[in-house]
Structures are given as structure tokens and as C-alpha cells.
Copies of this chain bind each other. A is one copy, B any other.
């Protein structure tokens, strides 16, 4: 049995779901001679490592316990009560990860999995890649900081996977990488890559006012606690930046033209979430309704998309032909259309659920398995 040791950073929704996927797929992977050995898990406050991490792992009961602790909103430090593991505070955890990486990196390809939403992990990730480890990301932040950080992470391109940073588990990154390595020339990438904004746009199309749609989306749990985090377009811009960088563009977030669905006067530093929802966002209702109607008069619909074409990289609302894959998109599905030499007249289209912890964690797990063959 070949074992794949890993350390999980971030035990939010996706991280917890990943641990659960790992446990439920044990028999599937053992039939293929693989064992996923979770050596450590960490949250923002501490790192929990199995004792004798050279040979042992955090067993499934402890992993389930960790999930429960995080679900309850507590810190992993509670697990210090268990004999089987050791807990390191924030100040020690980085050093401990480096210690494990230096022992397990080159020989076993220790996988550092980042399911956090933090900008801070990039420091650790850059270092462990250099030490021979593999890196799997659901977290977009490490890939969307400086170009220098990005290049460092991709210093060993075959040891990094990040499918779930764009379109959750949809095979977006793997498809783009295949097209690029085949020498095909990509002319244009257009995508609707936010389940939240996909939902908002298709509800607007049905004639509902923006303010109601946003309130509904929040109630349904489709938005971040502050819906402006979605409506600002920043999350889509990060995804666009990741795609653009894969396509070879040496750009940063600042270079992307981003259209926000609300004006600055309604921003987080101007009013609370409650004020925004109760009487802020409704000020945009009329303007948005006009745009929807104008588009409809041309057999078009509004979609919040990212467009990468030549030097152009932008995210915002576009009028899209009703009778196209993108125009027909409904609800929270994601879609990516790629036009290239091989896909010239009709684009290559990838479409499906692009959000949700289950799908996102499934993409992360597929990445981890994909990497295993690199190591003996």
C-alpha cells in the first residue's frame, strides 16, 4: 500500500468536507493501493499533528472529532486533550510544518492542502514547494497575490494543482492546461464563474428587482455573510486572474477591470450589512431593471462574466445572446467557453455546478490523487 501523507490547512466548510471525503473513499482508494495519511490539520490558531508523524496519522475518529470541533465554531486547540496528537500554537506551527516537509517532502511528496481563505498561507506554501512537497489549493489568495509569489509556487508546475480555485470541481484548469500544452492557441475565454452572481443574473432576467434577488440569495445561503463580498466582483476577478496567469499573462489584480454591482456609497465602510440590504441596494433597482430591459429588447440577457481576450482581462456585466450556452445558463451553474484554433467556430464548453463544499472538496481530492503518481 502506497501512502500519501498530507497536511490540511483550513478546516472551514471545504476542509471539513475534504476530511469526510477522505474517510468515505478509503475503501475506493485502497482498492487502487493508495492510503491518504492525514499527518496534520490546522486552523488559523493552531496545528494539530499526530505523534510519530513519520509513520502514523491522525486516525479517522480524530479527524471526525476535528470536523465536529470546527463545525461547533471552536478552535482545534481543544484536541490537545487527546494523547494521540500534539497541538502547536500559531507561533510554532509554521516551524513544525517546515520540519515535517523537510522529512517527508522529497521522499513521499507530502501534500500541503490549502482549503483556507487566508492570504497568509502563501509564505508556507512557497517554502514547502521548494522542499519537494506538493501543493493543492482550493484557496485563491496564494495564486492572486504578487506575480513573484505565483511564479515561485509554479517553480515546479507538476507539483501544484488548484482545480478547485475556479469553478469548484469543474474540470476547468485541467482542460485549459491540456489545451495549452497541446500547442493549441487560445483566442478567448469567457466564463460565468460565480454561482451567486449566476443566480442573481438569472433572477434579474425574470424581472425581479435586484434588492429582492440579493435578499433572497442571502436567505438561501448563496451569498457570503456580507453579500457585497460577492457583488463587488472581487471573487470573480481573482478567478479571472488565475485563468489569465495560466494563459501566460503577467498581470495582477490591479490590472483587471472590475465592475461592482453596487456603487462606492453603499460600500462596507459606508454602511452596515443591514442598512445595505434594507435600503441601500434598492437604490440600484431601477438602473439594473433598465439594463435588463434594454438587453431583452435585443434578444439578449445580462450575465456577470469574466472575459480574457488578447490583452483584455475584465469582469463585469455583459449583454449576451439569449440563444447561446452562456445566455441559457440558469441558476448557480458555472460555465466556461474557450475559443481556440481547435475550437474555433464553436467554443469548447464546460458547464455544471461550480460551487458547494461537496463539489469543491471533490475537486481537491481528485487533485491529491492526481499527484500521487509522481512519487514511488
Binding site for B on A (CB under 8 A): 21, 24-25, 28-29, 32, 157-158, 163, 169-171, 174-175, 178-179, 181-184, 325, 328, 331, 333, 341-343, 345-353, 356, 358-359, 362-363, 365-366, 369-370, 373-374
Contact = CB atoms under 8 A, between A and B. Distances in A.
B366 A351 contact: no
Protomer copies: 2
Nearest to A168: B342
Contact of A366 (B169, B170, B182, B345): B182
Given A181-B365, A363-B182, A349 B346 contact: no
A164 to B, nearest CB: 10
Nearest to A338: B352
Nearest to A350: B350
B175 A348 contact: no
Contacts of A21: 182-183
Given A25-B182, A184-B362, A373-B374, 15 more contacts: A24-B183, A28-B183, A170-B348, A174-B174, A175-B175, A179-B362, A179-B366, A182-B369, A328-B328, A333-B346, A343-B352, A346-B351, A349-B350, A350-B351, A374-B374
5 contacts: A171-B171, A171-B175, A182-B365, A345-B353, A346-B352
A355 to B, nearest CB: 11
Contacts of A351: 325, 346, 348-351
Nearest to A361: B182
6 tightest A-B CB contacts, nearest first: A25-B183, A158-B373, A348-B352, A182-B362, A178-B366, A182-B366
A171 B25 CA distance: 24
Contacts of A348: 170, 350-353
